[in-house]
Chains A and B, each alone.
Chain A
Amino acid sequence: MSKIRLLSLQLLVAVVMIGLWQLLTTVPIFGRLLLPPFFFSNPVDVGSQIVAWFSSGVIWKHLAITLWESILAFAIGSLGGVLFGFWFARQPTVAAVFDPYVKMANALPRVVLAPIFTLWLGLGIWSKVALGVTLVFFIVFFNVYQGVREVSGTVLANGRMLGMNERQLMRHVYWPSALSWMFSSLHTSVGFAVVGAVVGEYLGSAAGLGYLIQQAEGVFDVAGVFAGMFVLSAFVILIDLGVTVVERRLLVWRPDAAHQRV
């Protein structure tokens, strides 16, 4: 399918969905509205709410906070995941001892941690960052662990035969392999950093997209809830595009990444 055709079909879906939404919430069918505006709002209200946010500029502060929390969660979670992933992979005893606890911690639904983080770190950004970190950490940790463990035996033997010592093997073999695994999960971990931030804000904060949605919900402002969701989606898509650009730069050496380019 050509690019233009695909794009126009994708646009068509959006137009039909929004059109239906507008129709069912404003035009009575057999004397009544199928989607009561109180519960479903309507596209015009939602759109004007979004426009109002951007024209008054209030939205920027919230976007900036959520973005900042996501970045911090991603950076701290990744750093921890890389360090621990490396450490566990190179020290099988440590990995074996901590294995059940890692599994336990990872099995825990992170939402239940939110109140504890709020208690410990207050209502500011750090309780949200902490929630994001608990999500990002495990994804990066498992990928780096796997990446170090799954280095090809032949490539490793080749490094040794070429004269590499342990430190050089680390730098030229284990590290790139671990990074490539980490980057292959970049979309997931960045996505989770945002999820952590927004859920944290939703559960208790004074700013951010999650706060915005929660506030609107508190006063039954359905248009505000939908508007928040749309802004959040656009925000995530933009971040994801950024990740794709970074990924293509960093993983040029990988067959699949290169093919995506074409």
Chain B
Amino acid sequence: MQAAPAAPLATPWAVELDDATVAFRLADARVYTAVERARLSVAHGEFVAIVGPTGCGKSTLLNVAAGLLKPAAGTVRIFNEPLTGLNRQAGYLFQADALFPWKTAVDNVAIGLEISGASRAEAHAAAQKWLTLVGLGAFAGRYPHMLSGGQRKRVALAQVLIRNPKILLMDEPFGPLDAQTRQIMGNLLLDLWTADRKAVLFVTHDLEEAIALADRVVIMSAGPQSRIIGDWRVPLPRPRDIFEIRLEKEFHTLHREIWSVLKDEVLKGYAQSTGETSAV
């Protein structure tokens, strides 16, 4: 519970996964090792994207960083402290819809402050401000089912950011959205992040999105026993506009380079996912 007044330079890493191995016990008592010896560090204020074929263990890795899953082996450190229980420094934007369907948009955003003791009026004022920031000021009274998929993601983003977490975990947050909305959301995310740099761990299956947004792109191999097989620094300058940045030459060079590694894994992952079903 104690807020460690850590000297910022003594702890360069916000998140450190040290040889983290994650295994699931399957229904027939077999053990499925999803991720093996993942080693990954995210610095203060750094934006890291994780890319990998579906089912390779990206969500699993985020759950480990969030403290929702315990690794079978290896350690997780958050600001140099070993993680036990939930990661209280992190905000998590889930892949699936996670808004409370029985709360209006503004109530959904306000809840994070309310439960930590803020008065209702205070929490609501702050929530209204955040809704305006994500462009939904006029939608405060709507319930989640009355919002579009993109609007729901905006509310979810505000819900997480209002608590001002030091670490932001995002699991394919724009996955179900159409291409235009994704780019708009990407720019919105970059704007918010530039204003207040948090350590971001951003999972996506879209390599272009990863390069456009991140400082570093990390590639995972196809599962089982997925590993981290590549780590690229993105040399593109900030501030970025992700509509424009795709036209840069450096973008294409990097994309080609990473894709040459990723392609094999995607094919392997696809072959496995189809092979698995025929083997059963």
A residues at B contact (CB < 8 Å): 152, 154-155, 157-165, 168, 172-173, 176-177, 180, 252-255, 258
Q: Is the CB of A180 within 8 A of B94?
A: no
B125 in contact (CB, < 8 A): no
Contacts of A157 in B (CB 8 A): 68, 92, 94, 98
Given contacts A255-B145, A258-B145, contact A168 B115 (CB under 8 A): yes
A160 to B68 CA separation, bound complex (whole angstroms): 9
Q: Is the CB of A173 within 8 A of B100?
A: yes
Q: Which of B88, B94, B143 contacts A158 (CB 8 A)?
A: B94
Given contacts A155-B100, A162-B163, contact A172 B115 (CB under 8 A): yes
Contacts of A155 in B (CB 8 A): 98-101
B74 in contact (CB, < 8 A): no
Given contacts A155-B100, A157-B68, A162-B159, contact A254 B145 (CB under 8 A): yes
Q: Which of A172, A177, A258 contacts B111 (CB 8 A)?
A: A172
A254 to B68 CA separation, bound complex (whole angstroms): 29
Q: Is the CB of B100 within 8 A of A172?
A: yes
Q: Is the CB of A160 within 8 A of B159?
A: no
Given contacts A154-B96, A158-B94, contact A163 B145 (CB under 8 A): no
B91 in contact (CB, < 8 A): yes
Q: Is the CB of A163 within 8 A of B88?
A: yes
Tell me which of B92, B98, B111, B116 has the highest count of chain A C-beta atoms within 10 A of its own C-beta: B98
B176 to chain A, nearest CB (A): 14
Contacts of B99 in A (CB 8 A): 155, 158
Contacts of A161 in B (CB 8 A): 66, 68, 86, 90-92
A168 to B115 CA separation, bound complex (whole angstroms): 7
A172 to B103 CA separation, bound complex (whole angstroms): 9
Pairs A–B under 8 Å by Cβ, sample size 6: A154-B94, A157-B92, A160-B68, A163-B88, A176-B102, A180-B102
Instruction: List the A residue with the shortest CB-CB distance to B142.
Output: A253
Q: Which of B86, B100, B163 contacts A176 (CB 8 A)?
A: B100
Contacts of B55 in A (CB 8 A): none
Q: Is the CB of B111 within 8 A of A253?
A: no
B35 to chain A, nearest CB (A): 18
A158 to chain B, nearest CB (A): 4
B137 in contact (CB, < 8 A): no
A164 to B143 CA separation, bound complex (whole angstroms): 21
A112 to B91 CA separation, bound complex (whole angstroms): 56
Question: Quick one: CB contact mask for B70-103 with A, threshold 8 Å, 1 for yes?
Answer: 0000000000000000101011101011111111
Tell me which of A154, A162, A173, A255 has the highest count of chain B C-beta atoms within 10 A of its own C-beta: A162
Q: Is the CB of B100 within 8 A of A258?
A: no
A154 to B172 CA separation, bound complex (whole angstroms): 14
Contacts of B143 in A (CB 8 A): 252-253, 258
Within 8 A of A (CB), among B132-168: 143-146, 159-160, 163
B112 in contact (CB, < 8 A): yes
Contacts of A255 in B (CB 8 A): 145
Q: Is the CB of A254 within 8 A of B101?
A: yes
Given contacts A162-B159, A255-B145, contact A154 B111 (CB under 8 A): no
Instruction: List the B residue with the shortest CB-CB distance to A256.
Output: B145
Contacts of B116 in A (CB 8 A): 163
Given contacts A252-B143, A253-B103, contact A163 B115 (CB under 8 A): yes
A124 to chain B, nearest CB (A): 40
Q: Which of A158, A168, A173, A176 contacts B92 (CB 8 A)?
A: A158
A185 to B90 CA separation, bound complex (whole angstroms): 39
B114 to chain A, nearest CB (A): 9
Tell me which of A152, A155, A159 has the highest count of chain B C-beta atoms within 10 A of its own C-beta: A155
Contacts of B111 in A (CB 8 A): 162, 172
Contacts of B90 in A (CB 8 A): 161
Q: Which of B102, B103, B112 contacts A163 (CB 8 A)?
A: B112
- The 9 A-B pairs with the shortest beta carbon distances in the complex, nearest first, are A158-B98, A253-B143, A176-B102, A161-B92, A255-B145, A154-B96, A162-B112, A154-B98, A253-B102
B264 to chain A, nearest CB (A): 32
Given contacts A161-B66, A162-B163, contact A253 B101 (CB under 8 A): yes
Contacts of A176 in B (CB 8 A): 100, 102
Contacts of B163 in A (CB 8 A): 162-163
A159 to B102 CA separation, bound complex (whole angstroms): 13
Contacts of A159 in B (CB 8 A): 100
Contacts of A254 in B (CB 8 A): 101, 145
Given contacts A172-B111, A258-B146, contact A160 B100 (CB under 8 A): no
A225 to B100 CA separation, bound complex (whole angstroms): 50
B130 to chain A, nearest CB (A): 14
Instruction: List the B residue with the shortest CB-CB distance to A253.
Output: B143
